[in-house]
Structure 1
Amino acid sequence: MPKLTVITIVYNNVRDIERTINSVLKQTYKNIEYIIVDGKSTDGTLAVIAKYKERISRIISEPDKGIYDAMNKGLALATGDYILFMNSGDEIYDEQTVEDVFDSSPGADIYYGETEMFNDNWESLGRRRHEAPEIFNWKSFQFGMNISHQAIYVRRSITEPYDLKYKYSSDIDWIIKSAKKASNIVNVHRYVAKYLVGGMSKKKHRESLKERFEIFTKYYGLIPNVLNHIFIAGNLAIYFIKHRRTND
């Protein structure tokens, strides 16, 4: 039974933090280290966390330099064999998820699965537009981020700290770096996470897209990246046309 470190980043999210905590604590898989990194919340979030302090491995609450700085703090504290980031507002899919992930294949460097999207009223929006690929490697993000960071379990020994020069898309860089080091990547063929849409990368969409382009150019080259983005734009247009017809 490998040890999984689940890290939750939160700042002033008293409405959603309890959902996230319960999704971790109710797992049938018991070898879980749970770390919560709070950015010095002032809205009652810490009072909610305190209700569960006996079942949470580590809680820190202090100002940070942004979400990826906070995620690095969690990484530095982690002692598990694998890392999973499940930030406030998101959930591990169901109580059996972690057990199913590790039962799928022993000893993988990375496990990944599918994500279900939810709106601000916690109503399902269905699967992410970018479906998780049947086979994943470090080149798989060429046509878009098809695995969310809530849906990927990474062996801690192949992880690095998040690059703080990226403020909105450092998770993409982090996953690609890890995937380049991985020798065994397993698709668990199930939903593993519920994702609350509207995070920082959505609020700062233009800046996030610029960072993504820079990251993809670094790994895939400028000309291939430009051509890939033309392909992405075409697929996006087709998606919205089909989606609009369905709504009509």
Structure 2
Amino acid sequence: MINMYQGGYSFSSSQSSIKDSKLPLISIITVVRNGEQYMQSCIDSVLTQSYPNIEHIILDGGSTDRTVEILKKNNDQIAFWQTEPDHGIYDAMNKAIQHCSGKWYMFLGVDDSLMGGFSELAQRLTCENTAYYGCVIYRGVPQYDGAVDRFKLVRSNICHQALFYPRVVFDEHKYDVAYKIAADNVLLLRLWKEKKIKFEYHELIVAVFNHTGISGYDWDRLFFKNRSKLIYEHLGALPYLYHLYLLFEEKANKKIMKRVNKVKKLMKRLN
């Protein structure tokens, strides 16, 4: 009998997520709270993938809407799901990782959806010390930014929804829950410094990244407070100097815009 707070075919039966023994199992992790509007479409985007070996792990943070009802309805299609209160997105992700059996981990927001590029890139996962990543569609536009280097990491992150992490990453690391929105960015910086994991770019659209999640309307104050320190410690002196230049440029542009706006207001009064 399935506990009302847990479910999924791996929890309730001997059904396996592995359909092709020659290919690695990929664990897709979705964390959610009150996501009834998107939950079914998120599940469906996983189910329609052509790549055969996928397990979908969903952790719900104690939803009060119909999210759990939707999870129960899809019980035979989800490897494992659980609902209980958590301490934020990354606490839930850390919990979800404990239920994963895959050789590769991928994180998909409830309001995001997988594209065909996911299955194509999944076929290319060969080196278990490499993190593979592709592109996403954001606000309706494909984001092709190419391979990252330490200078690109100063101004942007690898999109979480386009990144396949090998299991070894989470054998050694967890997300730092002190960072409420940017813990994936902090983990990436730490991995870059360690150099135990290589990063390999493929020009494939892996997912649609929706901007309705928390990162679309809020920002991680602790991350921006520590950003300069993190860049210096994990990327080195030259990227740090580049970061300082960008900060100076941003401040200068703001001052210029303030003066331009003052002139515009003055011209309106004179007219």
TM-score (norm 1): 0.80
User: Could you tell me how far apart the structure 2 residues matched to 1:102 and 1:65 are?
Assistant: 31
Letter aligned with residue 112 of structure 1: Y
Cα drift, residue 78 of structure 1: 1.2
The Cα offsets for residues 120-151 of structure 1, whole Å up to 9 and x where unpaired, read as xxxx2x134xx4333x45x2553322421111
The aligned residue for residue 67 of structure 1 is 89
Classify 1:172/1:219 alpha carbon distance in 2 versus 1 (closer, same or farther; 3 Å).
same
Higher Cα Rg: structure 1 or 2? 2
Q: Are 1:142 and 2:153 counterparts?
A: yes
Count of residues in correspondence between the two structures: 226
Cα drift, residue 117 of structure 1: 0.8
Instruction: Give the gaps of 5 or more residues in structure 1.
Output: 119-123, 238-248
CA contact (8 A) 2:27 2:105 kept: yes
Instruction: Give the gaps of 5 or more residues in structure 2.
Output: 1-22, 254-271
User: Could you tell me how far apart the structure 2 residues matched to 1:194 and 1:228 are?
Assistant: 29
Letter aligned with residue 115 of structure 1: V
User: Could you tell me how far apart the structure 2 residues matched to 1:202 and 1:213 are?
Assistant: 22
State which of 172, 184, 189 in structure 2 corresponds to 1:176: 189
> What is the correspondence of 1:113-124 to structure 2 with a 5 Å cutoff?
113-118=134-139, 124=140
User: Could you tell me how far apart the structure 2 residues matched to 1:91 and 1:211 are?
Assistant: 31
Aligned-pair identity (%)? 27
State which of 152, 175, 195 in structure 2 corresponds to 1:162: 175
The aligned residue for residue 219 of structure 2 is 205
CA contact (8 A) 2:45 2:113 kept: yes
Cα drift, residue 229 of structure 1: 4.8
Q: Are 1:31 and 2:48 counterparts?
A: no
Classify 1:56/1:63 alpha carbon distance in 2 versus 1 (closer, same or farther; 3 Å).
same
User: Could you tell me how far apart the structure 2 residues matched to 1:181 and 1:25 are?
Assistant: 34
Q: CA RMSD for the aligned pairs?
A: 2.7
The Cα offsets for residues 79-117 of structure 1, whole Å up to 9 and x where unpaired, read as 1100000011011123xx333113336225211001111
State which of 224, 227, 231 in structure 1 corresponds to 2:242: 227
Q: Are 1:78 and 2:100 counterparts?
A: yes
